[in-house]
């Protein structure tokens, strides 16, 4: 499947504003709203793009863990499948490095991760060893990555509609959400554009009640909404993650330098053997060296300890993926309100 310029422009709009109305999107793109809705339905059905909501992963309010896994070679597929079935394990990747699998885990609390997630690892046949680094600061994540497929006029029109800061700040407002509100989260994990009417029908509640609950969930800062794209269709088919060391006190300055690199998908400070991680989507393997040079030039004090090219990804932020990086349509949703992926 190839994506047209019109497809990429629509995805770009939804990256900026995942829940934008079709009428507002039509105003930006100059295309009829029904045409955009049909185009989006086609992209979703093909697994080329999808919207979702997930725990934001900010270590200030929840537990973000990066886990390296070693497993028996002949049981790798089984280990991968069992890890992907754990809701808190939001991303599962196979890497060309000295670990077999790389996991991103987001749990509501450190206790949840320690008492409920790690024990499940120990029960998986063929999982030999794991090593954990905990996130201490999340500087940037995939929900702020953009295709840059909109011309300046369309970018200006979109910003005029949605404002400059459309991404959730990641700061919870008010008291914890009650269970009645947490019931909405699995629906938003499966479809970040799910309407109050759709959710109300499934839950047997009135649309007005669900709309109030939905507004509170969205404003809580508990979740981040995003539009994802199949990586092989994005123009950036290569993922590379760097494990680095940056001197204490210089992490914020280093992160600020990285914000101008549009290939950066993830940047976080971590505990462990290294204290800084960077993930980029690149156009080719040759860009790995170019990226490393850019990192050294922008952050002279950085020590690049190791790089890991991602060979395949079985799961990304809760969504199961096909070998060609398209979404299967299956989403691993937890039964507990906070474990939405």
Picking from 335, 341, 315, the residue whose alpha carbon sits closest to that of residue 62 is: 341
SS3 72: coil
pLDDT for the residue numbered 7: 98
Nearest to 305 by CA among 294, 314, 317, 292: 292
Q: Is the per-residue pLDDT at 165 higher than 80?
A: no
152-162 and 22-29 are packed helices; what angle lies between their axes, rounded to 10 degrees? 150
Q: Under a CB-based contact definition with an 8 Å cutoff, are residues 84 and 320 in contact?
A: yes
Per-residue tokens: 64 = 């973000």
Per residue in 201-251, pLDDT tens?
A: 999 999 999 999 999 999 888 889 999 999 999 999 999 999 999 999 999
The pLDDT of residue 166 is: 47
Kindly state the tokens that stand for 341.
């992926």
The mean pLDDT of the chain is 92
What residues have CB less than 8 Å from 133, skipping those under 6 apart?
65, 66, 67, 270, 271, 272, 273, 274, 277
pLDDT tens across 288-330, in order? 999 999 999 999 999 999 999 999 999 999 999 999 999 999 9
Residue 183 pLDDT class (50, 70, 90 cuts): very high
- pLDDT band at residue 171, thresholds of 50, 70 and 90? very low
Instruction: Tell whether the model's pLDDT for residue 163 goes beyond 70.
Output: yes
**What is the C-alpha to C-alpha distance for residues 38 and 265, in angstroms, rounded to an integer?**
29
Give the start-to-end residue ranges of the domains of the chain: 173-220
Q: How far apart (Å, rounded) are the C-alpha atoms in residues 318 and 334? A: 10
Say whether pLDDT at 128 is over 90.
Answer: yes
How many Å apart are CA 236 and CA 182, to the nearest integer? 35
CA distance 226 to 4: 21
- Please report which confidence band the pLDDT of residue 175 belongs to, taking 50, 70 and 90 as the band edges: low
For 86, list phi and psi in degrees, rounded to 5.
-85, 120
Query: Global pTM?
Result: 0.91
Q: Which of the four pLDDT bands, split at 50, 70 and 90, describes residue 333?
A: confident
Query: How many C-beta atoms surround the C-beta of residue 287 within 10 A?
Result: 17
Among residues 127, 128, 166, which one has the least CA distance to residue 146?
A: 166
Distance separating alpha carbons of residues 74 and 294, to the nearest angstrom = 39
340, 189 in Cβ contact below 8 A? yes
Output the six-digit token pair for 328: 């299967």
């Amino acid at each position: 499947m190839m994506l047209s310029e019109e497809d990429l422009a629509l995805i770009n709009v939804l990256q900026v504003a995942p829940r934008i109305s079709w009428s507002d999107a039509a105003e930006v793109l100059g295309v009829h709203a029904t045409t955009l809705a049909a185009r989006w339905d086609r992209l979703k059905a093909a697994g080329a793009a999808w919207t979702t909501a997930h725990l934001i992963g900010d270590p200030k309010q929840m537990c973000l863990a990066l886990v390296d896994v070693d497993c028996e070679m002949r049981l790798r597929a089984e280990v991968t499948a069992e890890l992907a079935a754990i809701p808190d394990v939001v991303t599962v990747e196979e890497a060309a490095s000295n670990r077999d699998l790389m996991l991103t885990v987001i749990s509501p609390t450190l206790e949840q991760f320690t008492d409920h997630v790690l024990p499940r690892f120990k029960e998986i046949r063929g999982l030999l060893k794991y090593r954990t680094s905990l996130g201490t600061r999340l500087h940037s994540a995939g929900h702020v990555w953009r295709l840059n497929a909109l011309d300046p006029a369309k970018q200006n029109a979109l910003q005029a509609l949605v404002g400059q800061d459309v991404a959730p700040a990641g700061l919870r407002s008010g008291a914890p959400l009650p269970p009645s509100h947490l019931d909405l989260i699995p629906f938003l994990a499966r479809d970040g554009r799910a309407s109050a009417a759709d959710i109300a029908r499934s839950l047997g509640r009135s649309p007005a009640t669900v709309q109030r609950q939905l507004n509170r969930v969205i404003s809580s800062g508990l979740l981040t909404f995003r539009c994802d794209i199949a990586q092989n269709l994005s123009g950036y088919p290569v993922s590379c993650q760097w494990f680095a060391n940056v001197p204490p006190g210089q992490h914020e300055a280093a992160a600020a330098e990285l914000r101008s690199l549009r290939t950066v998908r993830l940047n976080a400070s971590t505990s462990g053997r290294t204290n800084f991680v960077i993930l980029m989507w690149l156009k080719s393997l040759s860009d790995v060296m170019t990226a490393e040079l850019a990192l050294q030039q922008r952050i002279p004090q950085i020590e690049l300890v190791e790089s890991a090219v991602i060979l395949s990804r079985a799961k990304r932020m809760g969504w199961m993926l096909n070998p060609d990086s398209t979404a299967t349509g299956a989403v691993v949703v937890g039964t507990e309100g906070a474990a939405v992926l």
